[in-house]
Amino acid sequence: MTPKRPLVRYHGGKWRLAPWIIQHLPPHRCYVEPFGGGASVLLRKPRAYAEVYNDLDGEIVNLFRVARDDGERLARACELTPFARAEFDTAYDSADDPVEQARRTVFRSFSGFGSAAVTGQSSGFRANSNRSGTTPAHDWMNYPDCLRQLVQRLRGVVIENRDAVECMARHDGPETLHYVDPPYVHSTRSFRARSHCYRHEMNDDQHEALASALHKLQGMVVLSGYRCDLYDRLYSGWTRIDGRAHADGARPRVESLWLSPSVPSASLFPSEGT
């Protein structure tokens, strides 16, 4: 059964864009997400022979490990969690038990405004009940059943907590596909999103170093981001595919994919997936 919602609300998450991205993924034996975040593409794509989720944020990695290995206990804990402001405030405190920490992480994510709360940043409590469609409280009520679907999808996925370049090098090979979704280049963000969107940000020098590493990989690379002068220079020999996305308060933005020269040309056009 295809998951209906992400495991966690995460800045730059690609849940709505995932079907479009998946259309452009080439056939592969091993699939690697070195900047895993919310893993929206991984969770919605067909399963590969080997799959690797990696992120440098230890709290997010803990959530994915708990969901994979102790998902039913996490789902039951979420079922017993009321959609309450007091719970939201408590969720900012760390917990020694991995499952309890995962519960706090995911509750913070779904009960806070935007995606700031998941990385521990200050965010207001989403108490609005007079909105069209479902309310945040109803979304939370339905979350445990959605979580159980995600648990099934995560079985067999290798979960890493290391530097992205090191992770890619460890799992690289001719039949490996690296879907690379790093923090957005700062010049492409809105003013309010130019700092502290992630626990581990990247400056332009780090984007340069990442590009150097990507060019050296044996495997295929599909890179996500917004077009900018830096990426035009770093990936000048790659194929760029533009799509449409909405970000920064529903202001239209164009999300792009850069496909490395090793990606077969058939992946430049929509297909039925990998």
Which whole number is the average pLDDT over 209-238? 96
Rg of the chain over all Cα atoms, to the nearest angstrom = 18
Closest CA to 219 of 30, 40, 35: 30
Q: What percent of the chain has pLDDT over 90?
A: 66
- 152-165 in b/e form (b: 16+ CB < 10 A) is ebbeebebbbeebb
pLDDT tens for 235-251 read 999 999 998 755 545 56
More confident residue, 252 or 246: 252
Domain range summary for the chain, segments of one domain joined by +: 18-56+162-268, 65-153
Q: What would the two tokens of residue 185 be?
A: 């280049």
Q: Is residue 16 predicted with pLDDT exceeding 90?
A: no
- Lowest mean pLDDT: which of 26-40, 190-204, 256-270? 190-204
Residue 53, C-beta contacts closer than 8 angstroms, at least 6 positions apart: 33, 36, 39, 42, 64, 157, 158, 159, 160
- What is the pairing mode between strands 255-259 and 30-33? unpaired
* Residue 267 pLDDT greater than 70, yes or no: no
Instruction: Select from 11, 41, 46 the least CA-distant residue to 179.
Output: 41
Q: Nearest CA to 221 among 202, 203, 238?
A: 238
Q: Which amino acid is at 167?
A: C
Q: What is the CATH number of domain 18-56+162-268?
A: 3.40.50.150
Tell me what pLDDT residue 273 has.
39
How much is the pLDDT for 155? 95
Is the confidence at residue 117, as pLDDT, over 60? no
